[in-house]
Amino acid sequence: MALSRREFLQGTTAAAAALGLSAGTPSLLTAAPRDSRLGGAPRTAGDAASRDLALLALDAAKSAGATYADARVSRNNVRNVSTREQRVLGLVDNETFGIGVRVLVDGAWGFAATNDLTRDEVIRVAQQAVAQARANRSALRRPVTLAPVTPTAEGTWRSPARIDPFDVAIEEQVGLLLQANEAALKVLKPGGRGMGFVNSSMFFLREEKTLATTDGTFVVQTIYRAQPNMTCQAVNVTAGDFQSRQSTDIQPMGRGYEHVLDANLVVNAERWATEAMQKLGAKSVDVGRYDLILHPTHLWLTIHESIAHPTELDRALGFEANYAGTSFVAPPESVLGKLKYGPEFMNVQADRSQEGSLGAVGWDDEGVQPDEYLIIKNGIFNDYQTTREQAPYLADWYASQGKPVRSHGNSYAQTWADVQFQRMPNVSLLPGEQDLVWDDLIAATDRGIAIVGDGSFSIDQQRYNAQFGGQLFYEIRGGKIVGMLKDVAYQIRTPEFWNSMDMLGGKRSYELGGAFGDGKGQPAQSNAVSHGCPPTRHKQVNVINTGRQG
């Protein structure tokens, strides 16, 4: 190895902790034009030069006529290590750094962004956003109003990452994946014979982000995300069959490299490979209605699609009708406090605070401190996900509940180049009061299918009709698992599905699953959120067989 680890780190790490925030309370005055050579070019998204540029953008936007502006300087570092069998497919370090400026002019939005972090360019971009907002005014019918916010004059937040993945030697990361691959191949290709494949990867994100708003908020955050991944594939060439097992037991988290170490990849790889082989010999499912027992590693995705998405207020109001769709949870006045989503023991919480969750932040991308709230309370629909622009639409409902009109802090943009909009926080099904676990649900079931891990998924544009696959399917007879099934998918109509839930695991069986690349918006932006849940049982769900022959 020609480079020492220390030399290597010099090229890949940044002084993320050195945020240079001791300069006192920011005000627009401190951003008065200064020779850029004095401040220098920003090196991190949280340094003094980035702060100057963000405040400069606000000044330029106000001077050009904006009534409100926010500026986000962010630097995203991504590392992706990917392998197949005994080979490295890619070692990639990506960095993107820039500024995005959003403005309101007479109630119309404008947004412009650039990678060129010079003073002249930042001023140009701020003015461009204002000019664009003026152009957008021509097609304005209802001017934007923003819910009030309590500004944070000076704030920092950091994910609970113990080990910065960018500080870990690349040889160690590659070595771990190749070792896991070897363990899987021993099962998939015993004695080196037969056909079997394994892909593995680890993906890390570190985002440093400065947000300044004309309301007086100035916050700097460092966000980590980590996702180890593995797919074992068993092949029966003669039968023309192949089956995969993805590592869905290990979900992505808002943590550092410790999440990969905790994943125990080498030991788990052998089991995932064994399960892929077992799927080749599994019985193809008989279509029909079954009681389903859904593991948290599977159920998080059903929650994501059938609860978290339909309760986004922009969807309910029609703002996403051209892509993501609208929602069956609408119109707000007909469903808030009225719609029976599920049984009385069903409570669904939204938050951006669960330790290690993908959605955790200190402030959202318009400077709001997110709160915890119940989307579904005792089975009844209770609240939507909101941003500052959206919360005023619910003023009547909040007044009836004695609550102030306030954003829930659910605004997010994937990078500096994208405009922020309403994105879901962590949305989680709270555990039941009884101390039930997975095995208890199986033991209580006479005829059913237990599903582990998320698989194929598809849902309509109002979130009524969905179809979900999985990783592993087990046939249950008389309270016991009697064998493995394949070609299983279930189809639901959301309200019936949640109202058919008759068992819910307790606190001990609660786990966090998560979506790493949830798409929404045009242009489509990717969001990462966690969904916690215990296992559940649902009565008499429609199961189809997907193993169609040509």
Partner 1 sequence: MSGPRSLFGAMAPHLGRLQAEALCKRVLGFSTADEMRVNVNSGATANTRFAVNQISTAGDNTNVSITVRAIFGKKAGSATTNRTDDESLRAVVQRAEALARLAPEDPEMLPELGPQTYVGAGGFAQATASLDPAGRAAAVRSITDPAADAGLVSTGYLEANTGSVAVATSRGLFAWRESTAVALTTTVRTPDGTGSGWAGATSHDWSRIDAAALGARAIEKARRSVNPVAIEPGRYTVVLEPTAVGNLVQLIAGAAQARSADEGRSFFSKPGGGTKIGMKVVDERVTLLSDPLDPDAYGTTFGGDGLPSRKMTWIENGVVKNLAYDRWWAQQKGAEASSFPGSLRMLGGTTSIEDMIASTERGLLVTRFWYIRPVDPRTILYTGLTRDGTFLIENGRVTRAVKNLRWNESPIFMLNNVEAMGVPVRVSASESGGPGQAVVVPPLKVRDFTFTSLSDAV
- Report the C-alpha gap between 112 and 132 in whole angstroms: 8
What would the two tokens of residue 81 be?
A: 């290590």
Stretch that binds partner 1, among 146-154, 218-226, 238-246, 354-362 (CB under 8 A): 238-246
Report in angstroms how near the CB of residue 504 gets to partner 1 at its nearest: 26
Report in angstroms how near the CB of residue 2 gets to partner 1 at its nearest: 5
Span 151-170, contacts to partner 1 by CB under 8 A: 169-170
Report in angstroms how near the CB of residue 433 gets to partner 1 at its nearest: 33
Stretch that binds partner 1, among 55-63, 314-322, 345-353, 438-446 (CB under 8 A): 314-322
Outline where 3-85 has alpha helix (H): 5-12, 36-39, 48-63
Span 451-480, contacts to partner 1 by CB under 8 A: 456-465, 467, 469
Binds partner 1 by CB under 8 A, chosen from 25, 37, 38, 138: 138
Q: From residue 328 to residue 347, what is the string marking binding to partner 1 with x (rule CB under 8 A)? A: x-x-----------------
What would the two tokens of residue 232 be?
A: 């074992």
Residue matched to tokens 């109001």: 317
Question: Should residue 307 be labelled a site residue for partner 1 when binding is judged by CB under 8 A?
Answer: no
Q: How many residues bind partner 1 (CB under 8 A)?
A: 102
> Residues 449, 475: contact at Cβ < 8 Å?
yes
| Secondary structure (3-state) at 438 | helix
- Report the C-alpha gap between 361 and 382 in whole angstroms: 23
Span 2-21, contacts to partner 1 by CB under 8 A: 2-3, 7-8, 11-12
Report in angstroms how near the CB of residue 117 gets to partner 1 at its nearest: 8
Report in angstroms how near the CB of residue 175 gets to partner 1 at its nearest: 8
Q: Which is nearer to partner 1, 351 or 423 (CB)?
A: 423
The H or E element spanning position 134 is helix 119-137
Closest CA relative to residue 69, chosen from 251, 174, 211, 282: 211
Q: Which is nearer to partner 1, 43 or 377 (CB)?
A: 43
Contacts of 124 (CB under 8 A, 6+ apart): 114
| Secondary structure (3-state) at 148 | coil
Binds partner 1 by CB under 8 A, chosen from 246, 306, 326, 445: 326
Report in angstroms how near the CB of residue 489 gets to partner 1 at its nearest: 7
Residue 319, judged by CB atoms within 10 A of its CB (0-12, 13-18, 19+), counts as middle
Question: Should residue 401 be labelled a site residue for partner 1 when binding is judged by CB under 8 A?
Answer: no
Q: Give the β-pairing of 525-533 and 480-486.
A: unpaired
The CA angle 75-78-81, to the nearest 5 degrees, is 170
Cis peptide before 143 (omega within 30 of 0): no
Q: Which is nearer to partner 1, 171 or 433 (CB)?
A: 171
Contacts of 2 (CB under 8 A, 6+ apart): none
> Residues 388, 215: contact at Cβ < 8 Å?
no
Report in angstroms how near the CB of residue 1 gets to partner 1 at its nearest: 6
Binds partner 1 by CB under 8 A, chosen from 15, 17, 32, 195: 195
Report in angstroms how near the CB of residue 98 gets to partner 1 at its nearest: 7
Q: From residue 72 to residue 111, what is the string marking binding to partner 1 with x (rule CB under 8 A)? A: ---------------xx-xxxxxxxxx-x-------xxxx
Report in angstroms how near the CB of residue 345 gets to partner 1 at its nearest: 26
The CA angle 95-100-101, to the nearest 5 degrees, is 165
Span 402-431, contacts to partner 1 by CB under 8 A: 417-419, 421
- Report the C-alpha gap between 181 and 233 in whole angstroms: 11
Binds partner 1 by CB under 8 A, chosen from 233, 382, 411, 422: 233
Q: Where are the beta strands (DSSP E) in 174-287?
A: 196-213, 218-236, 241-246, 283-284
Q: From residue 496 to residue 525, what is the string marking binding to partner 1 with x (rule CB under 8 A)? A: -----------------------x--xxx-
Binds partner 1 by CB under 8 A, chosen from 36, 264, 353, 546: 546
Span 351-390, contacts to partner 1 by CB under 8 A: none
Binds partner 1 by CB under 8 A, chosen from 116, 286, 333, 439: 116
CB atoms within 10 A of CB 55: 23
> Residues 494, 316: contact at Cβ < 8 Å?
no
Q: How far is CA 205 from CA 27, 32, 236, 260, 516, in A?
A: 31, 34, 37, 13, 11
Binds partner 1 by CB under 8 A, chosen from 167, 171, 433, 435: 171
Question: Should residue 484 be labelled a site residue for partner 1 when binding is judged by CB under 8 A?
Answer: no
Q: Give the β-pairing of 373-377 and 348-351.
A: antiparallel
Report in angstroms how near the CB of residue 472 gets to partner 1 at its nearest: 16
Binds partner 1 by CB under 8 A, chosen from 20, 62, 106, 121: 121
Report in angstroms how near the CB of residue 20 gets to partner 1 at its nearest: 19
